[in-house]
Amino acid sequence: MKENLLKLVSEWNYNPMIIECDVSNDNDITKLYADLNNANQKIDMLVHSIAMADKNELGGDYLNLSRNGFKLAMDISAYSFVSLCNGARQIMNEQGSIITFTFQASEKVFPGYNVMGTAKAALEHEVRQIAYTLGESKIRVNAVSAGPVDTLSSRVIQGYKNMKNAASEKSPLKRNITLDEVANSALFLLSDMSSGITGEILHVDSGYNIMGI
């Protein structure tokens, strides 16, 4: 991952500060922000783009969900957002922006998504709660709820093709979204163009979320 990131930014004539961080380890998160603080690095934005679940928990009977599988999905996909936001507020400038990524399975049943839907529901509540908490610090917190889109992680979800086909068939725009559309929406929420928006879940799904049938 580090090599891919360095290759990406090499075109920008920019030397990034790269710090490895295991979000399941509180010491790593503490060290992340300590390193930034020691380097006198203030931040204007935080992008939380982390999710994880045991692939054996994605699909099948939801009631067979294991305790460890539940803990893993909630820890990496939801609690990490709380922990990272808590550290970020110490070094984030006023008018800063924090975003994360969610999916409509937080509200509705998508067979195959299972425990990740539960984790996304928790994540969306955190967005609202943290937006309230950080409001006094003039820091905004929002989420992008993207429709089915091809990523490395989406390919392991049982029934993903069915989700993608349903979105293209039933959404008002009759098509799937693109990664560029997700990225553009994220940039909007991170920029001053969205300075009056906080605590929101922005759906980027060709309108699929509004459909009843």
Angle of CA points 82, 210, 76, to nearest 5° = 20
Q: How far is it, in rounded angstroms, from Cα 179 to Cα 153?
A: 13
Note whether 126 and 133 are within 8 A (CB). Answer: no
Tokens standing for residue 129: 């709660």
SS3 146: strand
Tokens standing for residue 176: 């799937």
Instruction: Give the closest residue to 129 by CA, choosing from 94, 86, 168, 95.
Output: 86
Give catalytic residues, as residue numbers.
Answer: 113, 120
Percentages (nearest 5) of helix, strand, coil residues in the chain: 50, 15, 35
